[in-house]
Structure formats: structure tokens, C-alpha cells
Amino acid sequence: MSKTLRIIPLGGVGEIGKNMTALEYRDDLDANDAILIIDAGMMFPEAHMLGVDLVIPDIAYLLENRAKVLGIVITHGHEDHIGALPYILPRLNVPLYATRLTAGLIQVKLKLNKVRDANIEVIPDRAAFQLGPFLVETFHVSHSIPDGVGVAVTTPIGTVVHSGDFKLDPNPVDGAMTDFAKLAELGARGVLALLSDSTNADSPGHTPSEHVIADTFARVFALAEGRIIIATFASNISRIQQALDAAARFNRKVCIVGRSMQDNVRMAVELGYLNADPQQFIRADEAEHITSSQVVIVCTGGQGEPTSALAKMANREHKQVTLRPGDTIILSASAIPGNEEMINKTLNNLFREGATVYYDRFLDVHVSGHASQEEQKWMINLVRPKFFIPVHGEYRHLVMHARLAQELGYRRENIFIVENGDVVELDDHTRGRVLRQEVSATDVLVDGIGIGDIGNVVLRDRHHLAQDGFFIAVLGINMRTGEIVFGPEIETRGFVYEPEAESLLEGAKQVIRQATAASAHDMGLSATLKQELSAYLYKTTRRRPMVIPVVTEL
């Protein structure tokens, strides 16, 4: 009987974000065919995706094969691994498998998005369960959030290991290290393919332990005389724990500001993933009435996002917290590429308010949650797969991760550098090959309530409009004589400042009148007008607005 295992990256390979991988088992008996999904993340739009709210993976292939899909294993509770769930679960309602904290974060998210009836099975971090032809085993990995796992999936033709997002932190905040024992056991049993986190494949050495942040916080807390405000991701539970620990040590109360962070903290405390005395927490209004030197505020805003609590404080727009001289602010994050300008703006505004601000340029206020090169080598060495597939990274990270594997002795033909939509097909003779762009894996854009209705045409128009605006000429012509009956009326936005552009507009009207008179009532008047107007406007301004003539025949 011929059997194949197909590894299908639907997101997160060749980009950082919206992680989703499908594993598909096939054999001659169709009844055995099955698909297992790992993660369902979202991604923030790239700069050219104007007006887009977020980006999720393309699940067309999964919907076509809906009957085969047995479930989704979620490795951890970060947005790039769970953020697509509110959008795909209503269409692909399959069971979710997640550890306790991850399940809690998913529930918070689904509730916020009014998605009901999700079927979430809570699993321990070292779990083993059978789903159709798949034996699913999970193992703990340390990352910037507790309760993260990697996944080993054993099929009739072999085992595939997915590292999840990991680092080999020797001193993680929650004390839970990456499960070397399980990785070694898997390696000993024999692994067909390893999919491993490539995020930091361009970082030599080891990623520092999350614990170095404790030293930084201690230094800053020792110096600070007023309030301390710490900004980080709402999902960075480990960092929030460190803030709580430092606050306890320096006898400060902690005020959690912002809806998403409050929800996460409440849930993490309830589930026992945040270790804090309930007495330590205070509300924002209570924080106003105790000495500044006894207050820590923890909030969102590590990326300077305009809607975050920190950016609102910096802009004097936050309802509960008004900055004052003497405040000390720690931006406990590093910039996601593309966010630098927002971060700098927020930093400058914080300095304008007279705050003392610490950020990553001159203090270790953040460490990565992802393995650097030496740790990535350990993962490969422990698991010792036949095939290596770098995932979770931009293209350059995949290539550099592949080169690390080559340094360890892997031959190039046993390494698959793939992108979303490629299929790695492994057969029962442990042969592997890549089918390029076999499966649809486009960026699915979410804009308002539209999911996937916006594509390149709309984005190209938005880009054009963003550059030079539009110029619309409305006129009516007599069907018989070809003479202008009304208009031309001009509507233009984003092109010129109208009050100062009278002569330009008058000139454009002249162009329209002449072109209409010369066109001898042919059918191509709109095309002619578009051409002549575009030429006139470019000559006059060296700009190229979107030109649209609206000609009505009466």
C-alpha cells in the first residue's frame, strides 16, 4: 500500500506571522486520509496593505477537504499562532487542542470577537493522544509566554516534529525549561522531518535568558522615585510576571491598565500562570491616591501603537493615566520591523512629558523569545531528523537556518526551503520532494467585516489614491449634437489644495471642453478625456492623480 505524508505550510513560512501548517496523511484507502493543523495565527498588515486591519492564512484547501480535517493543535497563545481563530472557526469548525493557558487566551479572544461554541480540548504540556492516523505528542518549550509546546506527530510513515516557538532558556521565569528529555526520546525513536523556528537564524550565539530582565528591572526600580510604567505586549505573561516580582520586591502596588491586558492577567492569575498576591493589584483610580513611589503601571504600547495605552498617555489622551514629571517608563519590547516610526514618535512624546524613559537602545529592557543560532543547532542535534524544514521566518531566516543544518552535516537535498503553498511530500520509502505552489496560500486580508474580499486591484487603487488622490470630471452631453449640456463639474481630493488651484481647475475645464468639441460625438469620449486630462495635470503638477471622467448622454 502506498502512503504519503504531505507537510503544507499555509502561513508563516517566508514571513513572520500568521503561522499555520497542515499535515495531510494519504494512502490507497481514502477512508484513512486525514489532515491535522498546527496553529492558526494572524499577521499585522505590511506597509503596502493600505487600510487592511489584519492578515490571516488562506484556508481554501482546508475547506475543500473539510471532511478530512481532524483538528487544530495550538502551540501557544501569541497572536501569530491564535489570532486567525475568530475568523476561521466559524467556517472550519473543528476541535482545538491547547494547553491550559493557551486555551484560556483563546477563550478570551473568541469571547471578544463574539465567536461561540468553540470546541477546545485542554491538554497537558506533555500530552499524547490519537487523532485518526496521527499520534499527537506535545512537549514543553520555553518562550516569552508560559505553557508553550512543540508537537510531534507520528503517522504510519514516520514522525514529524514541529518545534513551536522556542528558546533554550536555562533560567525561564516560570521555571519550565524546554523538554530536552522528550526531544532526545523523539530523536532516539527516529524522526522523519523537523520543522523548526527560524526567527533568529541571523543571530549568532545564544538568546539571553528572560531572567536578565529581572536585573534590568531591579536597576530601574532602585533609581525611580516616582511611578514606574512598564509597557509590553498584553500576551507577554512572562514579562508581566517579572514586573509583578520587581514590584513586590520594591513594595509597589501594580495597576494593570487596558482591557486586553486586564483580561489576560485575570485569566492567567486564575489559572495559576501568574504568581501574585491579589493584594498587590490596585485599580487606576486607587493608584491616583497613593504615593507615586508605591505604584507600578503595566500596560500595552511596546510597539508605540496609536491605540495602545502608552501611546495614549504620551499623547495626553489616556482617560485614566496622566503622565507627570518624575514618572519612569520602561519600553520593554523591541521593534517589530515597520513599527520603528510609531515607537520613535511615542518615545519623543514621552520625553516631552518630562518622563525618564528606558528603551532598548541603551538598556537591556527586552530579550527575544526565540532561539539564536547555537540553540537552533541544539534542536536539530537532539531531534536528528532525516529531513529538515526551516519554518517561522522570512526567506532569509529560512536560508540561514538551512545553512546551520548544513554546518551540522546535513546535505542540501535533505533540507527543504519552502514557502507558503508549497507541499513537502514524504513517502513510505523515506523519500521527500517539494511540489511548488501546489496549494492556494494567499494573504487573506481582513478589512472591516470583509474577509478576503480585498485583493490586489483594491490595494493598487488605494496606493494610487494615497500618492496623488483623484480627479473626477462630471459632464452631460447632448446625445444628438455632442454638445455639453451640463458641467464639466470637477471633484478632486488628495491632489491639490483646491482653494489655491483655481487656475488649474479652470485649465482642466478648458481641456475637457476642447476634447469634447473635437471628439465629433464618437464613442471614445471618456477614454479621450481621461488621456488628455491626465496629460494636462501631469504637465502642470508632475503628479498623476486617478482621473475618472463621468460622461452622461442626455
Q: Which of 132, 208, 226, 476 binds its own copies (CB under 8 A)?
A: 476
Helices (H) and strands (E) in the chain, counts: 16, 27
Q: Is 46 in the site for its own copies (CB under 8 A)?
A: yes
Q: Which of 290, 399, 435, 484 binds its own copies (CB under 8 A)?
A: 399
- 198 contacts 165 by C-beta, under 8 angstroms: no
Q: Is 324 in the site for its own copies (CB under 8 A)?
A: no
Q: Which is nearer to its own copies, 179 or 375 (CB)?
A: 375
Q: Which is nearer to its own copies, 168 or 314 (CB)?
A: 314
Q: Is 197 in the site for its own copies (CB under 8 A)?
A: no
- 476 contacts 486 by C-beta, under 8 angstroms: yes
Q: Is 506 in the site for its own copies (CB under 8 A)?
A: no
We find the least distance from the C-beta atom of residue 24 to its own copies, in angstroms, to be 26
The footprint of its own copies on this chain (CB under 8 A) covers a number of residues equal to 70
Query: Integer distance in angstroms from the first to the last C-alpha of the chain?
Result: 73
What DSSP assignment string belongs to 169-202?
-SS-TTS----HHHHHHHHHH-EEEEEEE-TTTT
Candidates 161-169, 171-179, 261-269, 471-479: pick the segment binding its own copies (CB under 8 A): 471-479
Site string for its own copies, 100-139 (x = CB under 8 A): ----------------------------------------
Q: Is 454 in the site for its own copies (CB under 8 A)?
A: yes
d(Cα 85, Cα 77) in Å, to the nearest integer?
11
Among left, alpha and beta (phi > 0; psi -120 to 50; other), residue 458 is alpha
How far, in Å, are 93, 379, 392 from residue 71 at the CA level?
9, 26, 21
Q: Is 50 in the site for its own copies (CB under 8 A)?
A: yes
Backbone angles phi, psi at 30, to 5 degrees: -55, -30
Q: Which is nearer to its own copies, 50 or 135 (CB)?
A: 50
Q: Which of 352, 412, 431, 433 binds its own copies (CB under 8 A)?
A: 352
- 382 contacts 187 by C-beta, under 8 angstroms: yes
Q: Is 474 in the site for its own copies (CB under 8 A)?
A: yes
Cβ density class 522-553: b for 16+ within 10 Å, e for less = eeebeebbbebbeebbeeeeeeebbbebebee
d(Cα 17, Cα 12) in Å, to the nearest integer?
5
Q: Is 524 in the site for its own copies (CB under 8 A)?
A: no
d(Cα 443, Cα 60) in Å, to the nearest integer?
12
- 70 contacts 132 by C-beta, under 8 angstroms: yes
Q: Which is nearer to its own copies, 49 or 268 (CB)?
A: 49
**Paired residues of 491 in beta bridges:** 472
Q: Which of 60, 177, 271, 465 binds its own copies (CB under 8 A)?
A: 465
Q: Which is nearer to its own copies, 299 or 475 (CB)?
A: 475
How far, in Å, are 134, 256, 456, 508 from residue 155 at the CA level?
5, 45, 39, 69
Candidates 149-157, 250-258, 267-275, 464-472: pick the segment binding its own copies (CB under 8 A): 464-472
Q: Is 2 in the site for its own copies (CB under 8 A)?
A: no
We find the least distance from the C-beta atom of residue 49 to its own copies, in angstroms, to be 11
CB atoms within 10 A of CB 49: 19
Q: Is 272 in the site for its own copies (CB under 8 A)?
A: no
- 150 contacts 139 by C-beta, under 8 angstroms: yes
Q: Which of 31, 457, 520, 523 binds its own copies (CB under 8 A)?
A: 457
We find the least distance from the C-beta atom of residue 180 to its own copies, in angstroms, to be 26
Query: What 8-state DSSP symbol labels residue 24?
Result: E
- 138 contacts 126 by C-beta, under 8 angstroms: yes
We find the least distance from the C-beta atom of residue 248 to its own copies, in angstroms, to be 30
Grid cell 531566516 in the structure block, residue: 397
Q: Which of 84, 447, 471, 536 binds its own copies (CB under 8 A)?
A: 447
Cβ density class 286-302: b for 16+ within 10 Å, e for less = ebeeeebeebbbbbbbb
Q: Is 414 in the site for its own copies (CB under 8 A)?
A: no
Candidates 25-33, 89-97, 172-180, 201-209: pick the segment binding its own copies (CB under 8 A): 201-209
Query: Quick one: which of 466, 469, 536 has its CA closest to 505?
Result: 536
Candidates 22-30, 293-301, 320-328, 541-549: pick the segment binding its own copies (CB under 8 A): 541-549
Residues 202-221 that bind its own copies (CB under 8 A): 202-204
We find the least distance from the C-beta atom of residue 133 to its own copies, in angstroms, to be 35
Residues that bind its own copies (CB under 8 A): 14, 46-47, 50-51, 202-204, 335, 337-338, 340-341, 344, 347-352, 357, 359, 361-362, 394-396, 399, 447-450, 453-455, 457-458, 461-470, 472, 474, 476, 485-487, 489, 491, 493-497, 500-501, 541-543, 546, 548, 550, 552, 554
